[in-house]
Structure 1
Amino acid sequence: MSGISFDVEYDLAVIGGGAAGKSAALTAAKGGLNVVILEKMSEAMGSAQHAEGACAFESSEQKAREGGDVHMPTKEEGFREYMRYSHYRANAPIVSMFVKNSAEAIEMLREVGVEFEKVISYLPDMPEELASMHIPKGMGMRCQELLQKAVRDAGVDIFVNTPVEHLILDNGAVVGVIAKDSDGNEIQIGAKAVIIATGGYGCNKELMKKYNYIGGDSSVWATIPPEMGVKNTGDGFALAEEAGGVINGGGVVQLFAGGIGKLPGSESGAAGTQPCLWVNQGGERFINEDIATKGTFAGTALAGQKDSIAYGILDQDMIEYLQNVGSDTSFGAFLQMHKPMTHLLDELEQDMAAGQAWKADSMEELVNQIGLPKEVFLETVETYNRACDRGIDEEFYKEPRFMKAIRRAPFYAIRIAPDYPTTCGGIMVNEKLQVLNRERQPIAGLFATGNDASGLYGDTYTMTVPGSTNGFAHTSGMVAAKYILSVLKSE
């Protein structure tokens, strides 16, 4: 080493304390390494605290449920589905690494006290989904709390409010990081290996515009607010590039749909994104709205509209259905299917005051309030109602059970848009999670995991394998740490 002076030294420095970071830290610490987690937020929880479950194949939880009504997928089935869905754009060695090691990641979580209630396919209206989602008691929050406790008990140092600003390189190898502590003091930390686990760039609108494959006006996409403990701004991308790493496949976005400026679980936002009538700013239908029941498909469809904005149109019958029966869609722990919406009218009043929803006694009055092309909108509604009467959507082939005419006043319009983007990859890595340079050679001492690491997907999130984001985070962190252990123990 070229005479670099450090304030403190560790075997492993982990940048980010989410699912991937804590899984890596726990694995390394249990293997005897001296480990530090550097987390820029006030808690080492990450976006996984809001996750519902984790994907795995041939886990002990799945084996215990074999022979039931639901088929438990094999590793081979998981591998083939990732490759099929991505049209073979996914990186096969990385997909193989994940499916082969995912069950061990579930065991790691079980060992820290996580109890899994069920293993399911996620969306009732997507029968082609694999039953890969392992749902823990207490969802992601409880899972991350238990993992954090285990990490501390294993002797890992966790420094919060401590962002990493630069990597330290010596002859092309990463040998440490430069961070700022909670008082703003610069710290030089030496490390034999560094893992990037910063969660992607879902909260960075500039990087979203630069990288995302979906297109559309990403400036209106609602990001997860910092008060939810998440601020994934692409820090890992900048660090990897600083060391000669390559951003490859950074445009995969797990994108949902909701009301503009609404938090996850908002009842009015969910009302607007029901499988009702959706119109764009031209006053026209543009999709079979039953995609509302198919997760990220809805966000992707909205993103392609002008300004990435559309409007959900409802009548009083639909409002009463939502109040009494509940949503026909779900969003994990935030929005449960067929749970009555008890705060819907109050939220709609707030949205109307904010200019994000409208209410009128006639369709003519409603379209005048919204400002859409009047004749086009009225013809769209009339055509849609006639299709509902026939029970056949000859335009977009929407499922008949969701074909409900809009005739009973008052009528409502709710502005909807893509929201809560989670980015899934970006930094080019190999199956050991080593960051690669432009010659596709490993950069010594540098690794990337979780939502910072590319390879699991093609150009969109694999909706048919639920729990992939969270499962890959835990698994990739564990695999990277195991490889680091094997290298350091052999020296």
Structure 2
Amino acid sequence: MSLTRRDFITGAIGASIGCVPALAACSPTSKTSAESETNSSETAATQGTSYSFEIPPQPIEESEIAETFEADVVVVGGGTAGLCTAVSAQQSGCSVILVSASKAPVSRGGSNHAAYSRVMEENGVPRYDVDRFFRKEFLVGGYTADQRKWFRFYNNSEEAMNWALDVIEPYGGRGILEGSPEGIDETDPMFTPVASHCFVDDEITSPSIGQSILVNALAKTLENEGGSIYWQNIGRQLVRGGVANGTEGRVEAVIAEREDGSYAKYAGKKAVVLATGDFSKDPEMMEKYCPWAIPTLVDVDVIDYDIGLFNGSLMPGDGHKMGLWIGAAWQKNVPNAAMIGGNGVNNFCNQPLLGHTGLMVNIRGERYSNEFACGALSNRNALMQTDGRTFMIWGQNYLEEGGPWYTYPRSHGDAPVSNEQTQEKWDKFVENGAWFKCDTLEELCEKLELPKETLDTIARYNELCEKGVDEDFHKDAQYMIPIKDAPYYGFENSVRFLTVLGGLNTDQYMRVCNAKDEPIPGLYNVGTMVGDFFSSVYTFMAEGSNYGACCLTFGYLTGKYIAENE
């Protein structure tokens, strides 16, 4: 069964009494609210709310644990962040155990941002202006992002990326650069530097889809160098101060549920590192921490720890919950940022990562914005419209006047595709019913179920295009292309969810902290879980920064940091 958007919201509210069925396995019998008062003053379980995820479950007793394993470092999560941390720690002299709910290394997509690397040097790509570019990213989130993390990433990303390239090369992998939008001046707010790295080999040759090359190489490296990996082990509770779900002392271990239902304890003498992905499968967590993204979610009742690239929802927040139950605080910046895309981005746009730069209207047939924006910001704005519904409209002349056209995914340096190839792509979308193609604008508006007032909007837009001045929204004249030649095209934009970002309060060394920003001894987190790195929305202008910063660079640095400081 797949939940509708309305079901999701209703379920989130209804679940305030108890767990929804799909998440019941993640939340064993709960303590009373009185029993949970020992948690940190800022943990959700003591704030008088009724979200079930905030209430710690009954501790798993020592007598229930079938086996115990021990290493210097225990990492929970088999994706990019967890594997980078594990291999880095092992190469720094630590013994390492990695446990993962998945059956094998997990990855999706494949864009990894680095400020510089030997691949950039080989391609003659310079470093970007970090002062200008990072401040622009901070502005998007109202200057609420943790700048300590951003500049620690920038200062160490070259070393981390070159290390990753060293990891994949023995297995036939190599790095390439992903293409960014062309012809946008560095001073433009929508500028995206060439800094996203992708991994390819003899089988995966396209950019942006080769993250599996890295995670598979990391897993092989970990095992070949003496580390241990236990798949299909779902982290259930942390052990702090010798007690499962304890709230004082050092985090010493994680208790995981194995495939056969038994429990195993994995003790980390130096540290336990959480790297369990996002929390988008938990309706309550999404309602509290990222409600604006709820309309973009689908299939929240289906938990698949091996899920690949999917537009809908990903993980149930296992690591976040375990951290909250032992006294970790949530990040300061709420609502959390989310990564969203749309069927108008890349499928249609003349530049990768941009939104549609022609006319966009809402369900009232009104133009509502300056359309020249990166795709993520365009889609975030679209969600602000009535019912989150927006439409793209253009004429046949857009083919000649809107180019040059580029494909996605695209490697840096790839030439644009021909107008003939672009027309073929348009025709395919019409044939499969995703787009409408009509001889008149009246017919197009009828097909899109837009009101007749849309024709007035189109007439006004054409008038401004002919003037060469956008008097309404002041879009750059080069993007003011009239809708003048039949046939006319249009479709409804669909905003799609990729992941929700952040979670536990995290310092710049990836130590998980309480409400007073005091590190909880022995507990770290990396990857999508890292709190307060992103804010507002993932812009895609620092393309690949979740993988490149939170997963790869912070994973690499955290393994080394634990070895040197714990």
TM-score interval, normalised by the smaller of the two chains = 0.7 to 0.9
Alpha-carbon distance in structure 2 between the residues aligned to 1:348 and 1:21: 43
Q: Is the 2:355–2:375 Cα contact (8 Å) retained in structure 1?
A: no
Alpha-carbon distance in structure 2 between the residues aligned to 1:156 and 1:301: 46
Q: Is the 2:340–2:499 Cα contact (8 Å) retained in structure 1?
A: no
Corresponding position of 2:232: 161
Structure 1 residues 270, 63: closer, same or farther in 2, change over 3 A?
closer
Q: Deviations over 1:209-266 (max 9, x none)?
A: 43238x3x63235799975356334332212212211111353435444239xxx965
Between 108-117 and 455-464, the greater mean CA deviation after superposition: 455-464
- The answer to whether the aligner puts 1:258 opposite 2:342 as a matched pair is yes
Q: Is the 2:236–2:257 Cα contact (8 Å) retained in structure 1?
A: yes
Alpha-carbon distance in structure 2 between the residues aligned to 1:416 and 1:337: 27
Corresponding position of 1:313: 393
Q: Deviations over 1:396-447 (max 9, x none)?
A: 1223232222233333321113223333322111122110112221112211
**CA deviation after TM superposition for structure 1 residue 465, in Å:** 3.6
The one of 116, 129, 133 aligned to 2:175: 116
**CA deviation after TM superposition for structure 1 residue 277, in Å:** 1.4
AA aligned to 1:211 is Y
TM-score, normalized by length of structure 1?
0.81
Alpha-carbon distance in structure 2 between the residues aligned to 1:16 and 1:251: 24
AA aligned to 1:373 is P
Corresponding position of 1:33: 94
Corresponding position of 1:297: 377
Secondary structure, counterpart of 2:433 in structure 1: helix
Secondary structure, counterpart of 1:238 in structure 2: helix
Runs of 5+ consecutive residues of structure 1 not aligned to the other structure: none
**CA deviation after TM superposition for structure 1 residue 319, in Å:** 6.5
CA RMSD of superposed structures (Å): 3.7
Runs of 5+ consecutive residues of structure 2 not aligned to the other structure: 1-60, 201-206
**CA deviation after TM superposition for structure 1 residue 72, in Å:** 1.5
Q: Deviations over 1:109-139 (max 9, x none)?
A: 1321253334886665362447461424414
Corresponding position of 2:50: none
Q: Is the 1:55–1:466 Cα contact (8 Å) retained in structure 2?
A: no
Number of corresponding residues: 466
- The answer to whether the aligner puts 1:394 opposite 2:471 as a matched pair is yes
Alpha-carbon distance in structure 1 between the residues aligned to 2:395 and 2:95: 61
Q: Is the 2:182–2:351 Cα contact (8 Å) retained in structure 1?
A: no
AA aligned to 1:54 is H
Q: Is the 2:277–2:529 Cα contact (8 Å) retained in structure 1?
A: yes
Alpha-carbon distance in structure 2 between the residues aligned to 1:338 and 1:63: 24
Alpha-carbon distance in structure 2 between the residues aligned to 1:220 and 1:269: 24
The one of 101, 113, 133 aligned to 2:195: 133
**CA deviation after TM superposition for structure 1 residue 453, in Å:** 0.7
- The answer to whether the aligner puts 1:383 opposite 2:460 as a matched pair is yes
Corresponding position of 1:152: 223
Alpha-carbon distance in structure 2 between the residues aligned to 1:360 and 1:82: 40
**CA deviation after TM superposition for structure 1 residue 182, in Å:** 3.2
Corresponding position of 1:438: 515
**CA deviation after TM superposition for structure 1 residue 380, in Å:** 0.6
Alpha-carbon distance in structure 2 between the residues aligned to 1:360 and 1:484: 62
- The answer to whether the aligner puts 1:19 opposite 2:101 as a matched pair is no
Between 408-417 and 454-463, the greater mean CA deviation after superposition: 454-463
Q: Is the 1:62–1:119 Cα contact (8 Å) retained in structure 2?
A: no
- The answer to whether the aligner puts 1:143 opposite 2:214 as a matched pair is yes
Corresponding position of 1:55: 114
Alpha-carbon distance in structure 1 between the residues aligned to 2:395 and 2:284: 38
Q: Deviations over 1:171-220 (max 9, x none)?
A: 5232222223334433332223211112223565654443238x3x6323
- The answer to whether the aligner puts 1:370 opposite 2:448 as a matched pair is yes
**CA deviation after TM superposition for structure 1 residue 22, in Å:** 1.1
Matches within 5 A, 1:283-294: 283-291=365-373, 294=374
Q: Is the 2:430–2:437 Cα contact (8 Å) retained in structure 1?
A: no
**CA deviation after TM superposition for structure 1 residue 458, in Å:** 4.1
Secondary structure, counterpart of 2:97 in structure 1: strand
Structure 1 residues 103, 318: closer, same or farther in 2, change over 3 A?
same
